[in-house]
Structure 1
Amino acid sequence: MTLTDPAGTDTAPEPTDTDLTALFGPRAVAIVGASDDTRKYGNWIAVQALKGNRPVHLVNRSRPTVLGRPTVPSVSAVGSPVELVVIAVPAAAFEDAVGDALAAGARAIVGISAGLGESGEAGLRTQQRITAKVRDAGARLLGPNCLGVLDHTSGLTLTSNDFPVGDIGIISQSGNVALELATLLVDHEMGISRFASLGNQADIEAADLVDAYVSHDGTRAIALYCEDFRDGRRLARAAERAAAAGKPVVLLTVGATDASVRNARSHTGAMVSSGIVVDAACRAAGMEQVSSPAQMAHLLQALTRSRVPRGSRVAVLADGGGQASIASDCAAAAGLDVVEFPAAVQAAVAAELPPTAASSNPVDVAGGGEQDISCFPRVLDRLTSADEIDATLLSGYFGGYGTYGPELAAREIEAAGAMAALAAGRSAVVVVQTMNWQSPAAAALRAGGVPVYRGIEEASWALGRLARRQATPAAGVPELPPAVAPMTATGYHASRRLLADAGVPFVPALEVATRDELLSAAADLRFPLVLKALGDEHKSDRGGVVLGIPDEQALLVAWDDVQQRLRPPSCSIEEMADLTSAVELLVGVRRDPRFGPIVLVGLGGVFAEILRDVRCALGPVTAAGARALLLSLRGAALLTGARGRPPVDLDAVAEVVARLSTVAGAHPEIAEIECNPVAAAPHGAIALDARIVLRAD
């Protein structure tokens, strides 16, 4: 068996067959549960399937005809090869239907049936047993509990609803989200190349489908709605391959609220990864994460019709002062820089406009459109040829001038074509917002490869996301190091030893359990010393850490006090690090059940949980990656030298992060590993604490 349960525990190896030709381009199809009842999926999918040009066999054990066509009682009774079988029967009959399909030689099965893995332990066991049979037969299973599959390039429609034709590949764990996205894409004059409904991902996972879309010529970008990532790191690698192939993945997921997590678990049995983990995976793989289907549609238009600009310097071109100002503010809010033009650029723009126009940035044509609509492509020509400008944002009324008369309408469409040709010819980044976003001129811009939006917020946001792809390129999905012998002891000093052996620096320390051991250990260390009560995660809050002990007498007083109050099983006695000009940091790794080790860095010490200034990355990280992570903290100025403070040794801190993350990656039995604090000083970094928690499973 090769299964993954909803808790993320692999029970056998993954299938090696990733060829999904039988799923997206079968020569013949059978629909088990085909029905005349218009309330059933078996009816809806059969109606859609019969619109295609391939043989469709309707399977119904009790009716001789369905939809006016003869049926067969089983797939085995078809009498000719059937590569793809869609099963839409009650859960109780699903296993027998799968067995019949496999006996007939099916290479792919789409499970519409619900009430299996998402319904509880009994349903999960049944689903696992069925999946094992499918894999043993060398076939693949989509679903169950899914909406179906579609491929417009092969003429395959096995879904309950129509989808518009286009070049966006959709992978969705929710049928309704996919349908909503499709309607939003229509607003942008876009459509769907392929659609696959994930369902329970008993066999085929999101990663399999992303890889299948990467090799699909009809797909230019991939829209993914996913609640349960299964093997999240494998999905991230697939998304990385998609980005490298020029097919970016736009991800929509849930988990921002407790309610969304509860709902995901209730209808798919999904385990939802935390937002900070998903964000780390997206940054590593080059996935673009959005928060709604509308954002997904907006970004997909920008990604497929435009390109990544060289930088964030944007020119705003408008045909009204108010919209010019609003567009400038929206662009700035999206992280774009509305730069002031150099004198030469201003003069070049002014030469194309009436004297009343504004030729700095933003540019306001001030009625120039009515006088001469060709001023738009002429000004755009000047802007796209300027080295000081990375992108142009057009905002306002363009597309509405055609309502003033047929002659102006024709010239406006001509101007739109010229603007699109300019953008394409120079590989320039041009994004348009117009209140006349469904006009013929807007359609001409879209046809020429220019994204057009109804609202300036959406246009600015989409352009900002394009610029961000240049400013923060994908970090890459790291490979995990080979696993080493697992650790079993996780006490404080055992944790220190494991990390110290990997090169993480610590102050000298000894573990003691008696007063005599304390005095003996103190003789080998230099005062001032630190006494730590062990066995208490929050020992600092409970007075279990005594700092700056100056001599032996003070050490004995501290020992007696800690023993009386806390009665720890043992204590650690350590030399006290020089924290002059040091910044306390939190460095750790958590093993996410879907994405594996996640590296965390943040401002640490006793205020770590209060400040919550933390950044994450897929682990392990290199020293260079760790340095970038540290510099992305909100409080990074404390590390680089703020208000006269000396900068810390970032290279030393980054090396600590990298070494710790490598240890965690090589020990899959570790659930959590943390050093808090790590003292980052101007002349080095040293860990002052260590904690390791093993996985419960």
Structure 2
Amino acid sequence: MARDLTALFDPASVAVVGASDDPAKYGHAVASQALRAPGRRPVHLVNRRGGTVLGRTAATSLSAIGEPVELVVISVPGAGFEDAVDDALACGAKAIVAITAGFAEAGPAGLARQRAVADRVRAAGAVLVGPNCLGIADNTTELYLASDRFAPGGVALLSQSGNLALELQLRGEPYGLGFSRFVSLGNQADVTLVDLVEDCARHRATSAIAVYAEDFGDGRAFAAAAAAAGKPVVLLTAGRGSASARSAQSHTGALTTSADVVAAACRDAGVELVRTPREMTVVLAALATPAGGPRTAGRRRTAVFTDGGGHGAVAADAAEDAGLDVPELDAATQDRLRRVLWEQSSVGNPVDLAGMGEQRPLSYADTVGELLAAEGVDAVLMTGYFGGYAASEGGLGGGAAGGSVLAEGETRAAKEIVAHLAAVPKPLVVQSMYPRSASCRVLAEAGVPVFAATEDAARALAAMTGRAVSDPGGAVPPLPPAAAPLRDLGYHAVRALLADAGVPFPAAREVTDEAGLLAAAAEFEGPYVLKALHVLHKSDAGGVALRLADRDALLAAYRAMHGRLGAPAYSVEAMADLTDGVELIVGVNRDPRFGPVAMVGLGGVLTETLRDVAFALAPVPSGRAAGLLRSLRGAALLDGVRGRPALDVAAAAAVVERVTAVAAAHPEIAELEVNPLLVRPDGALALDARAVLD
């Protein structure tokens, strides 16, 4: 059930404990901000010495105020923190913002103190932000309890870094970005990132949610909350490139890094994952306002429109680097463009005015109108000199001749572009050499994102053409109920577990001596496979022998292998027909924050060499699994190459669904892997499997 955070963001009254006249103390900064809206609600300043703070009489304690206080900010030394919390709860506080540090971030003893405080707060029916946070602000309720001001707007910013929040504000200013709310996450002892995402999703004044997080807590719950938010969520996180701390014992574990896990969770949840504050600002500029064209559900056929060949070529490359498609325009669209452009214009894609803009600025608008109306175009990226004529007239450095006539024509063109966009709403982004010109301001004020850098424009358009927030196709899969814990994860036990779930395997028997070997060979015909059990990475250790034609070959291979390895047991298996097949890998690695994470890719002995893999949160439905397989670099192998037949991708996807469902239902399994999974034109067959207990 979602938590009620009304007392946190719109309290009836506020008290700042630790308010100070000393500018070096945080209690001074918070108190100064709290007093910015004295008419909205009572604001009480508390300092144990009394006297005056910021020209107002300070109470010596919360109880000395003489009336209940709904929200209390605590900025006192660590030794007095618990007493301050108890006083706040005794005075009826329903929300506490804890600035004080020295808890979980300081070690085990601090963590124990933090947990005890959070338990007391929850028992009292209150909520706690922090400790070790920098405060909160809500521009929509005139609640200012952070050290800095945030320009009003539609972005809710949830951050574990105060300085990063300030940078985002500075970077967002040129794009008119402002903030509905700011919350410094702190240690998330009580109120978590998930709680805040859910509350901001319900907040009408918030149009987008920006998150900087180093600790997700329950990462899967965060992904689920973001997927259900119904509005854009943009994530910047640190430490994505570090590998799991646990020593992996499978290919899956060795290949799965925290960066893969976060990226998979974001893809499934529809979260825009960014790498830098600049990129976050660019994406927010594209998504935080509804104008400029709607988000589309994965349709990325992009028309690049320019007034110079160089800009068009660079923009086309940037668009493709950002994941957009830049196909040649269909013949009908090219014919319509030729009617509005002159002979030397290029109409293939990129579309190039080739100098016509100087002769007739309205050709910009005519071209945009045709591209927006084209059925084969999902989005438009306009790039180059547009804005230069108005910039020249306004003294912003444009170099075009023609003066006010061209400037007026360009401004008219900008207004017509806005009208075309209103009539045919599709994502439209502009890159201009003169983004501050009057004509570009016309576009920006209408909600069209305008950027100075080509790569920023392409990234913004990619965000606008990503999975729509209302599209359930990538929703975070729920975890199934936990099954009875497994104790035996030996090779044949894992095979049996997966076989019971519907994963097909060749016939196999476990043996410990020559008599058992010959008895197994009598149960099914060769050729045979012999595997040494309880040997890590059997192929690398020489513990696998293939294509053993008959019992004599099987016996000889057993004697040689046992002499080298001395394994306690072996598996005798029917040799699968590898003709026209491709080997895949299917694995699940359990992440401490996001739970089971699935991996699919090209498999066999070259798995770690090829590293052609894709990830998703587990369990993975078969439809999503097919999409993952199609996303591999080597996906063309699945459709048949050089005369080979197409493979049964549906059968492979069904195995992915079953393997990932088993792993998700067994939290005691740290790693589960089928490698290789042989996919043929007539089905899929698991040839090897292993599991590792957590």
TM-score norm. by structure 2 comes to: 0.91
| 2:197 and 2:209 in contact (8 A); partners too | yes
Q: Residue 152 and residue 527 in structure 1: after superposition, are their counterparts in 2 closer, same or farther (change >3 A)? A: same
Shift of 1:257: 3.9
CA–CA distance in structure 1, aligned partners of residues 378 and 686 of structure 2: 44
Q: 1:176 aligns with which of 156, 163, 168?
A: 163
Q: Any gaps of 5 or more consecutive residues in structure 1?
A: 1-15, 262-271
Partner amino acid, structure 2, of 1:557 = A
Shift of 1:153: 0.6
After superposition, give the CA deviation of every residue in 1:647-675 in whole Å (9 maximum; x if it has no partner).
22222211111111111111121111111
What is aligned with 1:235? 222
Q: Residue 94 and residue 273 in structure 1: after superposition, are their counterparts in 2 closer, same or farther (change >3 A)? A: farther
For 1:469, what is the secondary structure of its paired residue? coil
Q: 1:197 aligns with which of 163, 184, 192?
A: 184
After superposition, give the CA deviation of every residue in 1:24-55 in whole Å (9 maximum; x if it has no partner).
11111111111112122111111111102322
What is aligned with 2:153? 166
**Which moves more between the two structures, 33-42 or 378-387?**
378-387
Shift of 1:317: 3.0
Residue 454 (structure 2) pairs with residue 456 (structure 1): yes
For 1:208, what is the secondary structure of its paired residue? helix
CA–CA distance in structure 2, aligned partners of residues 86 and 273 of structure 1: 39
TM-score norm. by structure 1 comes to: 0.90
Partner amino acid, structure 2, of 1:30 = A
What is aligned with 2:397? none
Q: Residue 400 and residue 551 in structure 1: after superposition, are their counterparts in 2 closer, same or farther (change >3 A)? A: closer
CA–CA distance in structure 2, aligned partners of residues 338 and 550 of structure 1: 53
| 2:118 and 2:189 in contact (8 A); partners too | yes
For 2:203, what is the secondary structure of its paired residue? coil
CA–CA distance in structure 1, aligned partners of residues 154 and 354 of structure 2: 38
Residue 60 (structure 2) pairs with residue 73 (structure 1): yes
How many residue pairs end up in the alignment?
667
CA–CA distance in structure 1, aligned partners of residues 257 and 182 of structure 2: 24
Shift of 1:211: 0.8
Partner amino acid, structure 2, of 1:318 = T
Residue 19 (structure 2) pairs with residue 34 (structure 1): yes
Q: Residue 326 and residue 688 in structure 1: after superposition, are their counterparts in 2 closer, same or farther (change >3 A)? A: closer
Residue 654 (structure 2) pairs with residue 655 (structure 1): yes
Residue 31 (structure 2) pairs with residue 46 (structure 1): yes
What is aligned with 1:387? 375
CA–CA distance in structure 2, aligned partners of residues 249 and 285 of structure 1: 9
Q: 1:438 aligns with which of 436, 439, 442?
A: 436
Residue 305 (structure 2) pairs with residue 317 (structure 1): yes
Q: 2:193 aligns with which of 191, 194, 206?
A: 206
Q: Residue 678 and residue 339 in structure 1: after superposition, are their counterparts in 2 closer, same or farther (change >3 A)? A: closer
What is aligned with 1:566? 565
**Which moves more between the two structures, 686-695 or 470-479?**
470-479
For 1:477, what is the secondary structure of its paired residue? coil
Shift of 1:88: 1.4
What is aligned with 1:420? 418
Partner amino acid, structure 1, of 2:315 = A
For 1:77, what is the secondary structure of its paired residue? helix
For 1:547, what is the secondary structure of its paired residue? strand
CA–CA distance in structure 2, aligned partners of residues 232 and 68 of structure 1: 45
Residue 382 (structure 2) pairs with residue 397 (structure 1): no
After superposition, give the CA deviation of every residue in 1:335-364 in whole Å (9 maximum; x if it has no partner).
444444456544544554566655554444
What is aligned with 1:585? 584
For 2:525, what is the secondary structure of its paired residue? coil
CA–CA distance in structure 2, aligned partners of residues 273 and 145 of structure 1: 29
CA–CA distance in structure 2, aligned partners of residues 282 and 489 of structure 1: 34
| 1:585 and 1:605 in contact (8 A); partners too | yes
Summarize the alignment of residues 332-347 of structure 1 with structure 2, pairs less than 5 Å apart.
332-341=320-329, 345-346=333-334
For 1:568, what is the secondary structure of its paired residue? coil
Partner amino acid, structure 1, of 2:18 = G
Q: Residue 508 and residue 73 in structure 1: after superposition, are their counterparts in 2 closer, same or farther (change >3 A)? A: same
Q: Residue 313 and residue 153 in structure 1: after superposition, are their counterparts in 2 closer, same or farther (change >3 A)? A: same
CA–CA distance in structure 1, aligned partners of residues 614 and 315 of structure 2: 32
For 2:641, what is the secondary structure of its paired residue? coil
What is aligned with 1:269? none
Residue 272 (structure 2) pairs with residue 288 (structure 1): yes
Shift of 1:220: 0.7
After superposition, give the CA deviation of every residue in 1:181-232 in whole Å (9 maximum; x if it has no partner).
1111112111111111111111111111111111111111111111111111
Summarize the alignment of residues 613-632 of structure 1 with structure 2, pairs less than 5 Å apart.
613-632=612-631
| 1:421 and 1:448 in contact (8 A); partners too | no
Q: Residue 527 and residue 296 in structure 1: after superposition, are their counterparts in 2 closer, same or farther (change >3 A)? A: same
Q: Residue 314 and residue 473 in structure 1: after superposition, are their counterparts in 2 closer, same or farther (change >3 A)? A: farther
- Deviating 4+ runs (over 6 angstroms): 470-473
Shift of 1:491: 1.0
What is aligned with 2:686? 687
Shift of 1:455: 1.1
Q: Residue 193 and residue 32 in structure 1: after superposition, are their counterparts in 2 closer, same or farther (change >3 A)? A: same
For 2:448, what is the secondary structure of its paired residue? coil
| 2:244 and 2:257 in contact (8 A); partners too | no
| 2:220 and 2:265 in contact (8 A); partners too | yes
CA–CA distance in structure 2, aligned partners of residues 360 and 538 of structure 1: 53
**Which moves more between the two structures, 405-414 or 23-32?**
405-414
Q: Residue 346 and residue 496 in structure 1: after superposition, are their counterparts in 2 closer, same or farther (change >3 A)? A: closer
What is aligned with 2:523? 524
What is aligned with 2:282? 298
| 1:233 and 1:595 in contact (8 A); partners too | yes
Q: 2:464 aligns with which of 463, 466, 470?
A: 466
